[in-house]
Structure 1
Amino acid sequence: MATVHKWTGLEAKALRLALRLSVRAFAERLGLAVATVSKWESKLAATEPRPDTQAILDTALGRADAAVHLRFETLLSEMAGSVATAGRRVTPGPRAWEYESWADDLDRVVVALSRQDFAFADSLLTRWLGRFKAHELDEKGLYLFGRSSALLGDLKRYQGTLVGPLSAQHSYVDARAIFAQLDIPRRVAQLDLSLAVATEMSGKLESAARAYQTLASDDRLSARDRARARLWVGTALSKGGEHEYATRVMRAATRSFEELGEPEDWSAAHQKFALARRGAGDLAAAYRYLDVAQTSGALESPMQRVQLTTARAHVLRTDPATREDGLRLLDEAARIAARFGLGHQLRSIEAIRRTCEDAFTSTDH
Structure 2
Amino acid sequence: MATVHRWTGLEARALRLALRLSVRAFAEHLGVAVRTVSKWEKLLAGTSPRPDTQAILDTALARADTAVHLRFETALSAANRPGAGVARRIITTVPRAWEFESWTDDLERAVVALSRQNFTVSDALLGRWLTRFTPLELDEKGLYLFARSTALLGDLRRDRGVVLGPNSAQHSYLTAQSIFIQLDIPRRVAQLELSLAVVAEMSGKLEIAARHYDALAADDRLSRRDRARARLWVGTALSKAGNYDHAGRVMLDATREFADLAEPDDWSVAHQKLALAHRGAGDLSKAVHFISIARGGGAADSPLQRVRLDTAHGHILLSDPATRDDGRAVLDRAATMAARYGLSHQLRSIEGIKARERGGIRPPAVTRETST
Q: Which deviates further from its counterpart, 136-145 or 158-167?
A: 136-145
Does the 8 A contact of 2:265 with 2:300 survive in 1?
A: no
Determine the C-alpha separation between the residues in 2 that align with 1:24 and 1:337: 50
Determine the C-alpha separation between the residues in 2 that align with 1:140 and 1:84: 28
Amino acid at match of 1:31: G
Does the 8 A contact of 1:112 with 1:118 survive in 2?
A: yes
1:42 CA drift (Å): 5.7
Amino acid at match of 2:275: A
What corresponds to 1:135 in structure 2? 136
Amino acid at match of 1:342: L
Determine the C-alpha separation between the residues in 1 that align with 2:353 and 2:24: 68
TM-score by length of 2: 0.89
Amino acid at match of 1:298: A
Quickly say closer, same or farther: Cα 1:24–1:285, change in 2 above 3 A: closer
Q: In the TM superposition, what are the counterparts of 1:257-336 in structure 2 within 5 Å?
A: 257-298=258-299, 300-336=301-337
Output one character per residue of 1:67-121: Cα deviation in whole Å (capped at 9) or x when no partner. 4433322222333567989xx9643132222221221111111111111111221
Q: In the TM superposition, what are the counterparts of 1:1-365 in structure 2 within 5 Å?
A: 1-21=1-21, 25-33=25-33, 36-37=36-37, 40-41=40-41, 44-45=44-45, 47-80=47-80, 90-298=91-299, 300-359=301-360
Quickly say closer, same or farther: Cα 1:51–1:275, change in 2 above 3 A: same
Secondary structure of the equivalent of 1:217?
Answer: coil
1:19 CA drift (Å): 3.7
Amino acid at match of 1:103: T
Output one character per residue of 1:266-299: Cα deviation in whole Å (capped at 9) or x when no partner. 0110111111111112111111111111112235
Determine the C-alpha separation between the residues in 1 that align with 2:172 and 2:33: 50
Determine the C-alpha separation between the residues in 2 that align with 1:18 and 1:356: 55
Quickly say closer, same or farther: Cα 1:322–1:59, change in 2 above 3 A: same
1:123 CA drift (Å): 1.8
Determine the C-alpha separation between the residues in 2 that align with 1:224 and 1:158: 21
TM-score by length of 1: 0.90
What corresponds to 2:370 in structure 1? none
Determine the C-alpha separation between the residues in 2 that align with 1:180 and 1:162: 22
Determine the C-alpha separation between the residues in 1 that align with 2:322 and 2:26: 75
Determine the C-alpha separation between the residues in 1 that align with 2:283 and 2:37: 78
Does the 8 A contact of 1:196 with 1:212 survive in 2?
A: yes
1:12 CA drift (Å): 2.2
Output one character per residue of 1:230-284: Cα deviation in whole Å (capped at 9) or x when no partner. 0000000000000000111111111110110000100110111111111112111
1:322 CA drift (Å): 2.2
Does the 8 A contact of 1:77 with 1:94 survive in 2?
A: no
Does the 8 A contact of 1:83 with 1:89 survive in 2?
A: no
Secondary structure of the equivalent of 2:360?
Answer: helix
Amino acid at match of 2:260: E
Amino acid at match of 1:312: H
1:39 CA drift (Å): 5.5
Secondary structure of the equivalent of 1:359?
Answer: coil
Does the 8 A contact of 1:268 with 1:297 survive in 2?
A: no
Output one character per residue of 1:39-89: Cα deviation in whole Å (capped at 9) or x when no partner. 65565445544443322111111233444433322222333567989xx96
1:36 CA drift (Å): 5.0
Determine the C-alpha separation between the residues in 1 that align with 2:54 and 2:197: 50
Does the 8 A contact of 2:269 with 2:299 survive in 1?
A: no
Determine the C-alpha separation between the residues in 2 that align with 1:104 and 1:164: 30
Determine the C-alpha separation between the residues in 1 that align with 2:162 and 2:312: 22
Determine the C-alpha separation between the residues in 2 that align with 1:105 and 1:323: 45
Determine the C-alpha separation between the residues in 1 that align with 2:138 and 2:13: 24
Percent identity, aligned pairs only, is: 67
Determine the C-alpha separation between the residues in 1 that align with 2:43 and 2:218: 58
What corresponds to 2:366 in structure 1? none
Quickly say closer, same or farther: Cα 1:10–1:89, change in 2 above 3 A: closer
RMSD: 2.4
1:204 CA drift (Å): 0.5
Determine the C-alpha separation between the residues in 2 that align with 1:26 and 1:299: 45
Determine the C-alpha separation between the residues in 2 that align with 1:299 and 1:27: 49
**Unmatched 5+ stretches in structure 2:** 363-372
Determine the C-alpha separation between the residues in 2 that align with 1:196 and 1:252: 20
Determine the C-alpha separation between the residues in 2 that align with 1:334 and 1:278: 20
Name the count of aligned residue pairs: 360
What corresponds to 2:365 in structure 1? none
Amino acid at match of 1:162: V
Determine the C-alpha separation between the residues in 1 that align with 2:322 and 2:354: 17
Does the 8 A contact of 1:83 with 1:90 survive in 2?
A: no
